[in-house]
Amino acid sequence: MLDHSESYVTEDGRTIGGVVMEMKNITLRFGGVVAIKDISFDIREGEIRAIIGPNGAGKSSMLNVISGFYNPQEGDVYYKGALRPPMKPYQVARLGIARTFQNIALFEGMTVLDNIMTGRLNHMKAGLFAQALWKGKAEAEEVANREVVEKIIDFLEIQSIRKTPVGRLPYGLKKRVELARALAAEPSILLLDEPMAGMNVEEKEDMSRFILDVNDEFGTTIALIEHDMGVVMDLSDRVVVMDYGKKIGDGTPDEVRNNQAVIDAYLGVSHD
């Protein structure tokens, strides 16, 4: 296994920094069901980190732990070197962690633009009263936020649907709008829950391109869950493999691909 303790430069010229988030011996239970069992791994600054595994392996639970939606019964989460106490999701969002959802969680009746603007919530400081009157600070703030949002719209090439209500969009575009909203928060870590689920090959290629570009242009650290092995192996710098709540592999795509436990999990070997 490569030594990844120091920052290094990838083959394609990106710099991967030190550890930004670390999971230490995480165990998550729902009643008697153990969703995650004693898992440890880290996420490094600037990398694309994938979490893969068969259905029911606990991937989404893991992502929910990272996003603060679940608080694990055991184990610690370290963020930027400090222990992260149990938090509400909105508090985690303020730390600079944004996410998308497997089942798309957009406001269907609102336009694409307004949906993305909601991603700027943590960057709006003006009070309710000022916002309602749209005077002074509130106005300047909205202009500044709109500029950020417009740059994201440009980046994700969704100018033509700026004013379209999200409910009228096809699935692939909704996924892209969700990514835009997450980016609007200017996160330092972006969590993507099955960004390519249900997409056709062309949409997958587009989305892969955008994920790589986000990572490359903004230097955003990305953690993603994905079913499509081809996509994962192409995109990621490092991969964590889960099966039945346990970690069965961790390393570069090549290392994971040749890991016997991973092969067994995917090809189906009887579990003891």
Partner 1 sequence: MSQLSQATQGLASIPALLNRNVAQFGDKPAYREKEFGIWQSWTWAEAAEEIEALALGFLELGVAEGDFIAIIGRNRPYFYWTMVAAQMVGAIPVPVYQDSAAEEMAYVLGHCGAKYVVAEDQEQVDKVIDVQDQLTEFDQMIYLDPRGMRKYDHSKLHQFSALQDQGRSAKDKHSADIQARVDALTYDSTCVMLYTSGTTGKPKGVVLSNRNIIESAKNACEFDKLGADEEILAYLPMAWVGDFIFSIGQAYWSGFCTNCPESAETMMTDLREIGPTYYFAPPRVFENQLTNVMIRMEDAGQLKRWLFKRFMAHAKKVGGQILDGGDVSASDRLMYALGNALVYGPLKDTLGFGRVRVGYTAGEAIGPEIFEFYRSLGINLKQLYGQTEASVFITLQPDGEVRADTVGVPAPDVEIKIDDKGEIFYRSPGVFVEYYKNADSTASTKDGEGWVATGDAGFFEENTGHLRIIDRAKDVGQMADGAMFAPKYVENKLKFYPDILEAVLFGSGRDRCVAFINIDLTAVGNWAERNNIAYASYQELAGHPRVLDTIQQHVETVNKSVAEDPMLSGCQIHRFLVLHKELDADDGEMTRTRKVRRAIVADKFKDLVDALYDGSAEVSTTTEVTYEDGRKGAISATLSLRDAAVVPTAAHKVAAE
Residues that bind partner 1 (CB under 8 A): 12-13, 146-147, 150-151, 153-155, 157, 159-160, 162, 213, 216-217
Q: Contact, 175 vs 112, CB < 8 A?
A: no
Cβ 120 to partner 1 shortest distance, Å:
15
Does residue 232 sit in helix, strand or coil? helix
In angstroms, the CA 223 to CA 47 distance is: 8
Buried b (16+ CB within 10 A) or exposed e, 112-122: bbebbbebbeb
CB of 13 to partner 1, least distance (A): 5
Distance in Å, CB of 208 to partner 1, minimum: 13
Cβ nearer to partner 1, comparing 45 with 243: 45
Alpha helices in 82-223 (DSSP H): 89-94, 112-118, 128-133, 137-155, 171-184, 201-218
| Residue (13 or 268) nearer to partner 1, CB | 13
Kindly tell me which of 14 and 24 has the beta carbon lying closer to partner 1. 14
The phi, psi pair for 202, rounded to 5°, reads: -65, -45
Residue 64 or residue 208: which is nearer to partner 1 going by CB? 208
For partner 1, which is the closer residue by CB, 74 or 213? Answer: 213
Per-residue DSSP letters for 35-49? Answer: EEEEEEEEEETT-EE
Smallest gap, in angstroms, from Cβ of residue 217 to partner 1? 6
- Pick the closer one to partner 1 by CB: 194 or 237: 237
What six digits make up the tokens of 17? 């920094």
Residue 168 CB, nearest approach to partner 1 (Å): 13
- Least distance in Å: CB of 206 to partner 1? 12
In this structure, the number of other CB atoms found within 10 A of the CB of residue 146 comes to: 15
- Give min distance, CB of 125 to partner 1, in A: 23
Q: How far is the CB of 157 from partner 1 (least distance, A)?
A: 7
Q: Are 210 and 179 in contact (CB under 8 A)?
A: yes
Q: Which is nearer to partner 1, 79 or 210 (CB)?
A: 210
| C-alpha to C-alpha distance for 227 and 229, rounded to whole angstroms | 6
Torsions phi, psi of 152, nearest 5?
-70, -40
Task: Kindly tell me which of 213 and 254 has the beta carbon lying closer to partner 1.
Answer: 213
Per DSSP, 77 falls in state: E
User: What is the radius of gyration, based on Cα positions, of the chain?
Assistant: 19
Q: How many CB atoms lie within 10 A of CB 12?
A: 8
Which residue's entry shows tokens 């055991």?
Answer: 74
